[in-house]
């Protein structure tokens, strides 16, 4: 299937129209209708679990109905385009990995929005999290080194699964560092690859912590290493890839994103709600359970993080020798 990307023109026009109306008037009474929260991955995915948790918390905080829309596909680009072109009025809210938005600028030859600063405004941050290297529990591999030794013997017959940009980059950085020649198998969502890992047709996976930790608890998969340069508080017992001789420092992070041009009072209200949500004991326990540490920032700090990550992921992708997709 081919997708046609239209760019940021529509959202820029909407922002220009809204700019003619005083911000206080635009935000008055917010929210006075249902809020639509966009998820870039399918129902049942690790991302969907996280989005629905925060959507329920937002429902309680805002007093409005929250409608979750799963707009999956194209590595998150379908959801990104939808949000970037949405009316900047606070009723379309994107809960997504800011690091994935940053990565997609360099992962695609024609990114949806080459300049993310013109398309998106960060309203809040949620967490920091690693990606994880996984094998089936029936596999003989107990360490990253054991996987590397076996995959080198398999050559280009080795395979690994991924379902998100961070997983792809982690997989390719691993290959560059070790000389492994594994072929990537991309899935729409991480659970889609479970049967292939169980059958042995896919040797290992690079997946998000929500999926990885849930599968490890169920006894289906074994986590061998995490992508962050240092161990996180949420997963102190899991060794990093760097500790095991594979240099990398990939830290994913999630945030609350709205179309650029959304009135400042609305952004500040969203930030206030999410600061309270992320700062609660319940949310810390939830995030830790799925491998993340809470992250609380102002909208300006979060926007700066997003723009810095655009440059960081450009370098990661160059080091990983990933050819941008058409």
CATH number where 230 lies:
3.40.190.10
Whether this model's pTM surpasses 0.85: no
Q: Which of 244, 272, 295 is the last residue of a domain?
A: 244
Same domain, yes or no: 170 and 223: yes
Burial annotation 200-229 (CB, 10 A radius, 16+ → b, else e)? eebbbbbbbbbbbbbbbeeeebbbbbbbbe
Could you tell me the maximum CA-CA distance found in the chain, to the nearest angstrom?
A: 66
Same domain, yes or no: 121 and 260: yes
Q: Which of 187, 212, 244 is the last residue of a domain?
A: 244
Same domain, yes or no: 211 and 265: no
Q: What domain range includes position 213?
A: 132-244
Q: Which of 180, 209, 244 is the last residue of a domain?
A: 244
Give me the pLDDT at residue 7, please.
45
Give me the pLDDT at residue 203, please.
98
Q: Is residue 3 in some structural domain? A: no
CA distance 177 to 110: 28
Q: Are 38 and 83 in contact (CB under 8 A)?
A: yes
Q: Is residue 4 in some structural domain? A: no
Same domain, yes or no: 102 and 142: no
Q: Report the half-sphere exposure of 81 (CA within 13 A, side-chain side).
A: 16
Q: Is residue 13 in some structural domain? A: yes
Q: Region 119-139: what's the mean pLDDT?
A: 97
Q: Are 214 and 50 in contact (CB under 8 A)?
A: no
pLDDT exceeds cutoff 70 at 36: yes
Residues 6+ positions from 22 with CB-CB distance below 8 Å:
none
Look at residue 46 and give its three-state secondary structure.
helix
Q: Is residue 35 in some structural domain? A: yes
Q: Is residue 324 in some structural domain? A: no
pLDDT-based confidence at 46, cuts 50/70/90? confident
**What is the edge-to-edge ordering of all strands in the sheet holding 183-186?**
183-186, 159-162, 204-207, 132-136, 221-226
Tokens of 58: 């937002």
Same domain, yes or no: 117 and 138: no
Residues 6+ positions from 103 with CB-CB distance below 8 Å:
165, 166, 169, 309, 313, 316, 317
Same domain, yes or no: 164 and 259: no
Same domain, yes or no: 171 and 258: no
Same domain, yes or no: 91 and 196: no
Q: Are 299 and 123 in contact (CB under 8 A)?
A: yes
pLDDT exceeds cutoff 90 at 222: yes
Residues 6+ positions from 275 with CB-CB distance below 8 Å:
124, 296
Q: Region 60-76: what's the mean pLDDT?
A: 96
Give me the pLDDT at residue 2, please.
38
CA distance 309 to 263: 24
Tokens of 225: 């290493």
Q: Is residue 56 in some structural domain? A: yes
Residues 6+ positions from 155 with CB-CB distance below 8 Å:
181
Q: Are 173 and 153 in contact (CB under 8 A)?
A: no
Which of 101-110, 139-148, 218-227, 293-302 has the lowest average pLDDT?
A: 101-110
Tokens of 273: 């709600």
Tokens of 36: 């639509």
Same domain, yes or no: 236 and 159: yes
pLDDT-based confidence at 116, cuts 50/70/90? very high
Q: Region 178-201: what's the mean pLDDT?
A: 95
Give me the pLDDT at residue 6, please.
41
Q: Is residue 61 in some structural domain? A: yes
Same domain, yes or no: 110 and 202: no
The rounded radius of gyration (Å) of the Cα atoms in the chain is 20
pLDDT exceeds cutoff 60 at 15: no
Same domain, yes or no: 274 and 208: no
CATH classification of the domain holding 54? 3.40.190.150
Give me the pLDDT at residue 258, please.
98
Same domain, yes or no: 257 and 125: yes
Domain count within the chain: 2
Give me the pLDDT at residue 20, please.
54
Look at residue 139 and give its three-state secondary structure.
coil
Q: Is residue 178 in some structural domain? A: yes
């Amino acid at each position: 299937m081919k997708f046609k990307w239209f760019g940021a023109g529509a959202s820029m026009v909407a922002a220009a129209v809204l700019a003619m109306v005083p911000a206080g008037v635009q935000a008055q009474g917010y929210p006075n209708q249902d809020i639509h929260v966009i998820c870039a991955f399918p129902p049942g995915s690790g991302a969907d679990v996280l989005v629905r948790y925060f959507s329920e918390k937002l429902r309680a905080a805002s007093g409005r109905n929250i409608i979750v829309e799963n707009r999956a596909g194209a590595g998150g680009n379908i959801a990104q385009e939808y949000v970037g072109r949405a009316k900047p009025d606070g009723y379309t809210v994107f809960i997504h990995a800011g690091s994935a938005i940053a990565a997609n600028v360099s992962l695609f030859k024609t990114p949806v929005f080459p300049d993310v600063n013109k398309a998106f405004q960060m309203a809040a941050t949620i967490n920091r999290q690693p990606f994880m290297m996984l094998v089936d529990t029936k596999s003989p591999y107990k360490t990253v080194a054991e996987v590397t030794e076996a995959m080198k013997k398999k050559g280009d017959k080795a395979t690994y699964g991924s379902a998100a940009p961070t997983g792809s980059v982690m997989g390719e950085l691993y290959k560059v560092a070790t000389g492994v020649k594994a072929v990537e198998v991309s899935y729409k969502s991480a659970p889609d690859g479970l049967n292939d890992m169980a059958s042995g047709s896919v040797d290992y996976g690079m997946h998000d912590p929500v999926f990885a930790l849930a599968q490890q608890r169920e006894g289906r998969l074994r986590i061998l290493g995490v992508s962050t340069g240092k161990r996180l508080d949420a997963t102190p017992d899991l060794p990093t890839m760097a500790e095991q001789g594979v240099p990398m420092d990939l830290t994913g992070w999630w945030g609350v994103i709205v179309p650029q041009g959304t009135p400042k009072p609305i952004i500040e209200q969203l930030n206030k709600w999410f600061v309270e949500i992320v700062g609660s004991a319940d949310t810390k326990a939830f995030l830790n359970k799925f491998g993340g540490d809470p992250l609380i920032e102002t909208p300006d700090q979060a926007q700066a993080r997003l723009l810095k990550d655009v440059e960081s992921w450009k370098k990661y992708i160059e080091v990983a020798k990933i050819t941008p997709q058409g």
